[in-house]
Structure 1
Amino acid sequence: METKYVPKAIEPKWQEYWEREELFKVRENSDRRKFYLLEMFPYPSGRIHMGHVRNYTIGDVVARFLSMRGFNVLHPMGWDAFGMPAENAAIKAGIHPARWTYSNIDYMRRQLKQLGFSYDWSREFATCDPSYYRWEQLFFVKMYERGLAYKRKAYVNWCETCHTVLANEQVEDGACWRCEQPVVQKEMEQWFFKITDFVEELLEHLDRLPGWPERVLTMQRNWIGKSYGSLLRFQVEEGGPSIEVFTTRADTLFGATFMSLAPEHPMVPSLCRGKPQEQAVVEFVERAKRAKRGERDAGLLEKEGVFTGSCCINPVTGDRMPIYVANFVLMEYGTGAVMGVPAHDQRDFEFARKYNLPVRVVIQPQGSEEVPSPDELDRAFEDDGVLIDSGRYTGFTSERAREAITRDLEVQGRGRWTVQYRLRDWGISRQRYWGAPIPIVYCDRCGAVPVPEKDLPVVLPLDLDILPNGASPLPMSEAFVKTNCPVCGGPARRETDTMDTFVESSWYFARFACADHESGPLDRERVDYWLPVDQYIGGIEHAVLHLLYSRFFTKVLRDLGYLGVDEPFRNLLTQGMVIKDGAKMSKSKGNVVDPDDMIRTYGADTVRLFCLFAAPPEKELEWSDQGVEGASRFLGRVWRLVSENREALASARPFEGSPNELTGCLLELHRKTHQTIKKVTEDIEQRYHFNTAIAAIMELVNTMYQTLEASDRERAFWPVLRAAADAMVVLLSPMAPHITEEIWRALGRRTSIFRASWPAWDENAVQSDQVLVVVQVNGKLRSRITLSAVAGEEEMKATALEDPKVRSFIEGKTIRKVIVVPQKLVNIVV
């Protein structure tokens, strides 16, 4: 064992050893408790970034820890390889997306192996491989046969920059989630997955996911958007179909004085046809569709509308209500029609004032005797109250009136109770090249026909030239488009849209359970053993994209007989971002830290240790060069502790006696060893608080150095130190696997530390007096924490910084220094 710690001298050696020995390869084993640990697989963008490093290091620690605890751990890795970024990068570089993608995969795989992650690489696949997406195409065909995949003409979110349609979930603040350019509405024929068939189950099953962050559960509940209300019918004055309106405020119906329709509402053309207003309506509709999606969503546009020339009848007052097309009404919410109640809805109030529409007050606050005249109103009264000027319902509370009015209209056939959802069907058509082809052909005689299973996969041709504007070359490829109808054998043409890249990532976790299965998409026996994923790790940004789609797809595959679970992920950890200089790392901000540079300078173990020590997993990690240096120095101390005492430690048998046999510093070290085993085990197993676990290991190393400085070396001296060294190295191994493998061998072990058993603590040895430590922030008392009487400064500091009461006072602030008075006080200066 060399006297100096040189990471580049040992890390490649152990990486080659792990791969040669296939240490991380797993198989189903009914005698062992399984644990499926999965991080969201990466898009092969070219290089991994520090966000990847943090995410995958967190997962690797858990995988290694549980393996050493006796679990049969599945920890796979693959590539989410289809999608627009590959095309865009390929266009820019003048190379084919397939070549760009696979070269990136090779580079990124090497980077991941350099970091020592314990992946079962035998299960690796890329979603752009036909051997993967052939099964996705089979799922599409089976969904089509069940009515879960369908095509219809609809207004969709169109990104002109990316030349493709986007699902509602892929529009963020009115912009494309990829290129961040404005999204507009466009009417097109599109393929959809009927996610709304599972809406109630998607909502109800959220209650079965206690291992998910409440924030994610809330985001999904809000996106699904279940609301109870009334579906009211307003008869158009000139006959024809009535206009249906969903409202949660049927109590305000007597105050409805006009109707507003979304520009995309299908009745708009017929309502204005032949009227003097027709041209103005057509122009307004076109202008509204071109508006930025986000401004319409958020109501940021000035509220504008145009009269269609038609009126409808208020079902309770009999009054004529002019029908407007308005830019603030969205087709995907409710029915795309809104009854205008100016006195009791602020949007309607502003619209009515602008276009001189009647304002009728029909609700007043509880206990109020004054009824403001419409002319006196400066804003709408939107709360519940008591009805006035509302016929026989006058004097009813809002809640009672909603029920009574809806019930009475239901008897008349003009209304009913209903439930509405914000969730809409998932639009999966993409007008791009680099994606899985949709397995449908069009025959003039037979219509749309699914490709038979025996003819799958429909392979994406790799010999096409990519167009410089990003549009798909598939429609122009006769070799791809021209085919024969599977039903009649006549000439047919292939669908040239490809599937949304989120389809690939909606079932990949199931394929990992049986990646080598060739006779079907999934081996039910193996899938039933591994699923659901026990711990999933990934970013919060996928809360209503990938995570929602994966839940939907799991339920579809269950109903098709491929899976036996209702939910894909039992527990979810959403790790915080890596930030530097107060902002998320990005090339545009110039604050990127290259993992390759860090590994070359400090070694993989140092990079891993810093990512784990700098912050709890769910919090943001502020990059710190000093923190990286600190992690490197600590590993150097561990190395020196063993290298300078290797012969004595290697020749000693670990102490296995009772703490009653020890005194002085040896008793203290023995106790510290078992306290550290207990704390590290519980911090990883129960909380994933790797930072406090590492702090405890640091304290143990400090105690070992202090013991080595003792002049009185009893007979048990080296055995107690050897026991501490063994425990310290094993506890550290999930975080820093390379250095601990080297030290493990230096201590005389002949097998990998990965095969070692996780140490157990002796409860008798753990017992010690407890002390109450005061925690201050800028000198003010903020909390009290109970710690072991032998807790060192690092443990005191780490525990204080983790305390929930303390965090509320330091969140978002810069910590200048931390003052520690041993066993008494921690003062955090921010």
Structure 2
Amino acid sequence: MKYNFRQIEKRWQIYWKKHNVFYTKESKKRKYYILNMFPYPSGTGLHVGHCLGYIASDVYARYKRAEGYNVLNPIGFDSFGLPAEQYAIQTGKHPCETILENSRRYEEQMNKIGLSFDWNRKLYTSNPNYYRWTQWMFIQIFNSWYDKNTEQAKPIDLLIKEFNKNGNNFINTNTTSNYKFDSKTWNKFNLHEKESILLDYRLAFLCNNIVNWCPDLGTVLANDEIKNGKSERGGYPVYKKKMLQWHIRISAYAERLIKGLNFIDCSQSLKKLQYNWIGKSIGISIFLKIVYPIGEINQIELFTSHPEMIFGMTFIILSPDHPLADKILHHKNGFTYFTQEFPAYKNTKNIYGIFTGNYALHPFISNKRIPIYVSNFFTINNKTQSIIGIPGYEEESRKFAKKLGIEIIKILDVNEKCMNSNFLNGLNIKEAKEKIIKILINNKIGEIKISYKIRDAIFSRQRYWGEPIPIYFKNKIPKAIPIDKLPIVLPKIENFHPKDGKSPLVRVQNWAWDERNMKIVSNILIDHKYVFPMETSTMPSWAGSSWYFLRYMDVDNNQFFIDKKKENYWKNVDLYIGGAEHSTGHLIYARFWHKFLLDRGWINTEEPFKKILNQGMILSYSAIILKVIGENTFISYGLKNKKHAYFSFQEIYVDLSLIKKNNELDINKFKKYRPEFYSSVFILERGSFFCKRKLEKMSKSKYNVINPDDICEKYGSDVFRIYEMFLGPINQSKPWEEKKINGIKNFINKFWSLFHKNKIFKVSEMNPTVQELKILHSTIKKIQNKMQSFSWNTSISLLMIMTNQLTVLKCNKRKILEPLVQLIAPFAPYISEELWCKMGKKKSIIFYNFPVFNPKYIVEKKITYPIMFNGKFKFSEKFNYNTSIGEIKNKILNHPKTKFFLKEKTLQKLILIPKKIINILFK
């Protein structure tokens, strides 16, 4: 009987849906919460690169169910944000429509692949029932401050009480400002003065800031949304612009974000990315006098972790958002320059730096004046707000100095001894650093300080498709919408295109808050007595994606965002799978948001994710053709370095469907696909037009994606799933090569044949032989070990080996084949369900436990290690093949013969070459 995957897959898809097989609820079982980073529903659907993570999580979810766990494996859609809005603009449809259309397409594809998601828990971040709680959380963040003494967020009301009762001094623990006032003074402040002080404490606050502004997208962008000075989406130019924006004070949580990494099981590379993003530095703040004081400001604070380099300082840079930048430029020019737009990236035509006309005095060299510049040169790398320029030892500083003709001084010679200073000559770096710090502190112009690179997150977006920020402005003071009036629903408008840097909500006629009647009313009624304007910016997409994993635990709760009992049961995500591109932005935001909710007592865990697994990328060969810049002419790629080498070329990506064999472009198809090039001239090479093929990340922008529907239709979903898992280790990138799928297809057919004889299903009830039992139980044990270490490619290899061995033995015995079906079930759910049913089982295979190996049939492979002492053989010892290196070393060092040979000698080192030799060095 031939394996008819189309018929079988359709039947089991209907069965799973009808019987709600993947439904999950709380129980007395051990829980296991597995989660994918949820997708935003784009118009083109999934490609095979997306499927890698979904299939991997599904394999593990099915395995953990078989181990007896109550597995939560939910899915939803990150449906707010720029991608959805841009797709809607391109199609001319409203985002509400495109989101539903696209998500239906995703759901259809995911079900076809056989993913065991609990669709009962499906959520959309753009659903008012969901973002009601996102708005509620924003209000709580707005009404909270961070107490550095207890290291937790607290209600702002407690801070106000402290202001009222604290007496003479209250030191601001959040900002660089120190407020000193008594309770009488606080009570004498007017509302504006009080709110101005409170804004320096609130975890959500308004302030003017230099932002990344993209006119073409009409919105502010986060740093991680910009690549090489252009928007990651669309490739549009990005500029710096000063705007009044909402911010979230993530920097207050910097130390906890670092400490929390100790409790997350993830790769060292991911932790390093997080460490670098947070950017903790221990150094010293130096206070330098300004030559030309600006009002009461007569000094500038600079942080450095390398004070020993102070004699190499030749300039100072303030970033555009430094508190002193506007004042010092105003002092020079009579106007604030940085209110104008200017390019965000140094490779664009950019003013490299503006000399402020002011100087700081060097702390050790009399009358040496250090020029102060304002520049965005360093801020694009997310550096600190002020930079000490030491071009003799720092590459970025050297570039800046060369560009502006600034002096470059070397202060260390080749032996790293300090030079060019009277009191540091001959000291090494450590000695010089200690001496400089001591002098700065004694002279009261320096203090030890911990600095963090992480900056407060800009929370405003001047676009339509996002959560409305639940704020109205009463006499310019931000006030939270009453919680019982949430959600503030995003109004449906036809023209949602951004314009002139203003949110489309500016054009909404009914977007004012009636404080008496507690509702949204017409803007015409704004009188600033009872009716006030509402915030027109919307939230960034990361607002909704920073807590969605909590909502999955209790998706239908209309009373609160999560029930305490359900949160106590599921706690946090046991395994979080997603792409490495989210290792900084999303993970930082989600971890911050989680810690805040913990501080305020609404959840019980410090970290949202126990283990994070980043899947590698699927690589695909893209196709690139050459266009002559400035001309409507294309040339075949092989001619690039020949007679046409004098041309300048633009590389254009081409859809793979337009490529014939031998990397030849189908010119006629291309002209129809890209009508703007219909009249173009194509210069041929040997009578054909060839393109360049390049192996790179599978991406829609590179037109090199493979549709999983096509693969499933041609080979079946089980073959597709196994092939993706068999490509290589889950965390590594690997190329997509369709021709290799035939090997997986042959394996599935061979597996199917084990259960059939002469095209008839036939399983024997005879007892298996010892040899067959040994094959089975050794495979069970090995696969269990491989699954626990997420080594799915080697698990499949073991299944292939066992299938081959049973085929040679012509084994069709139930006691061997039943557990074999259970072993393959996580990888190939369709064929396993079909065979399980044929073997007389009444329920889905997902409800049966994973097979357990019998040690009686496990034959341990032995390895003999020769034991050498200073390179001379003394004795040998046998170990089981899978014995860990640590166990081997421990046994050898405590072996009686080792102790005898060493006697009074001193052990220096034990060298172990795995599975080869052990050499003990002594003297």
Select which of 855, 858, 877 maps to 1:763: 855
For the residue of structure 2 that corresponds to 1:82, the secondary structure is coil
Distance 2:791 2:384 in 1: 48
Residues 1:302 and 1:654: Cα distance change in structure 2 (over 3 Å): farther
Quick check: 252-261 or 97-106, which moved more? 252-261
Note if 1:450 corresponds to 2:552.
Answer: no
Aligned match of 1:337: 386
Note if 1:516 corresponds to 2:556.
Answer: yes
Residues 1:500 and 1:17: Cα distance change in structure 2 (over 3 Å): same
Aligned match of 1:792: none
Note if 1:723 corresponds to 2:825.
Answer: no
Aligned match of 2:301: 244
Contact 1:483 1:494 in 2 (8 A): no
Aligned match of 2:268: 214
Distance 2:216 2:774 in 1: 64
Select which of 459, 478, 482 maps to 2:489: 459
Aligned match of 2:343: 291
Q: Report the AA paired with residue 84 of structure 1.
A: L
Paired positions, count: 726
For the residue of structure 2 that corresponds to 1:478, the secondary structure is coil
For the residue of structure 2 that corresponds to 1:239, the secondary structure is strand
Structure 1 residue 651, shift from structure 2 partner: 5.6
Alpha-carbon RMSD across the aligned residues, in angstroms, is 3.0
Note if 1:183 corresponds to 2:214.
Answer: no
Residues 1:194 and 1:629: Cα distance change in structure 2 (over 3 Å): same
Contact 2:210 2:240 in 1 (8 A): yes
Contact 2:284 2:437 in 1 (8 A): yes
Distance 2:801 2:590 in 1: 43
Contact 2:719 2:748 in 1 (8 A): yes
Structure 1 residue 404, shift from structure 2 partner: 3.0
Q: Report the AA paired with residue 262 of structure 1.
A: S
Distance 1:359 1:11 in 2: 70
Structure 1 residue 191, shift from structure 2 partner: 0.7
Deviations 1:511-531 (A, max 9, x none): 101111110111121012112
Residues 1:260 and 1:65: Cα distance change in structure 2 (over 3 Å): closer
Note if 1:535 corresponds to 2:572.
Answer: no
Select which of 453, 457, 474 maps to 1:422: 453
Structure 1 residue 388, shift from structure 2 partner: 4.1
Note if 1:684 corresponds to 2:787.
Answer: yes
For the residue of structure 1 that corresponds to 2:754, the secondary structure is helix
Residues 1:343 and 1:692: Cα distance change in structure 2 (over 3 Å): closer
Select which of 599, 605, 610 maps to 1:565: 605
Distance 1:347 1:10 in 2: 61
Select which of 737, 740, 743 maps to 2:835: 743
Structure 1 residue 243, shift from structure 2 partner: 1.4
Structure 1 residue 126, shift from structure 2 partner: 0.7
Note if 1:440 corresponds to 2:489.
Answer: no
Contact 1:26 1:72 in 2 (8 A): yes
Seq. identity, %: 32
Note if 1:698 corresponds to 2:800.
Answer: yes
Q: Report the AA paired with residue 753 of structure 1.
A: I
Q: Report the AA paired with residue 317 of structure 1.
A: I
Structure 1 residue 41, shift from structure 2 partner: 1.0
Distance 2:766 2:555 in 1: 45
Residues 1:355 and 1:500: Cα distance change in structure 2 (over 3 Å): closer
Distance 2:85 2:376 in 1: 35
Deviations 1:3-61 (A, max 9, x none): 1111111112111111222221121123x111001111111113111122211111111
Contact 2:464 2:498 in 1 (8 A): no
Distance 1:174 1:490 in 2: 45
1:360-399 equivalent positions in 2, closer than 5 A: 362-366=411-415, 384-390=416-422, 392-399=423-430
Q: Report the AA paired with residue 306 of structure 2.
A: R
Select which of 259, 264, 270 maps to 1:204: 259
Distance 1:89 1:351 in 2: 40
Residues 1:523 and 1:229: Cα distance change in structure 2 (over 3 Å): same
Distance 1:45 1:351 in 2: 42
Select which of 709, 715, 727 maps to 1:602: 715
Contact 1:312 1:322 in 2 (8 A): yes
Deviations 1:755-775 (A, max 9, x none): 122111111212165689xxx
Structure 1 residue 342, shift from structure 2 partner: 5.0
TM-score, reference length from structure 2: 0.74
Aligned match of 2:356: 308
Structure 1 residue 750, shift from structure 2 partner: 2.0
Distance 2:323 2:445 in 1: 20
Residues 1:745 and 1:362: Cα distance change in structure 2 (over 3 Å): closer
For the residue of structure 1 that corresponds to 2:532, the secondary structure is strand
Select which of 86, 93, 97 maps to 2:84: 86
Distance 1:159 1:477 in 2: 22
Deviations 1:134-169 (A, max 9, x none): 001000001101121111111111122221112234
Contact 1:407 1:416 in 2 (8 A): no
Aligned match of 1:506: 546
TM-score, reference length from structure 1: 0.82
Q: Report the AA paired with residue 398 of structure 1.
A: I
Distance 1:597 1:648 in 2: 30
Note if 1:754 corresponds to 2:846.
Answer: yes
Contact 1:305 1:324 in 2 (8 A): no
Residues 1:407 and 1:49: Cα distance change in structure 2 (over 3 Å): same
Distance 1:356 1:69 in 2: 68
For the residue of structure 2 that corresponds to 1:227, the secondary structure is strand
For the residue of structure 1 that corresponds to 2:511, the secondary structure is helix
Note if 1:548 corresponds to 2:579.
Answer: no
Q: Report the AA paired with residue 309 of structure 2.
A: T
Contact 1:255 1:360 in 2 (8 A): yes
Extract unaligned runs of 5+ from structure 2: 145-201, 520-527, 622-694, 865-878, 883-923
For the residue of structure 2 that corresponds to 1:400, the secondary structure is helix
Contact 2:312 2:408 in 1 (8 A): yes
Residues 1:651 and 1:246: Cα distance change in structure 2 (over 3 Å): same
For the residue of structure 2 that corresponds to 1:750, the secondary structure is coil
Contact 1:263 1:325 in 2 (8 A): no
Structure 1 residue 440, shift from structure 2 partner: 0.4
Aligned match of 1:41: 38
Select which of 742, 751, 755 maps to 1:642: 755
1:460-499 equivalent positions in 2, closer than 5 A: 460-467=490-497, 472-481=503-512, 483-484=514-515, 490-499=530-539
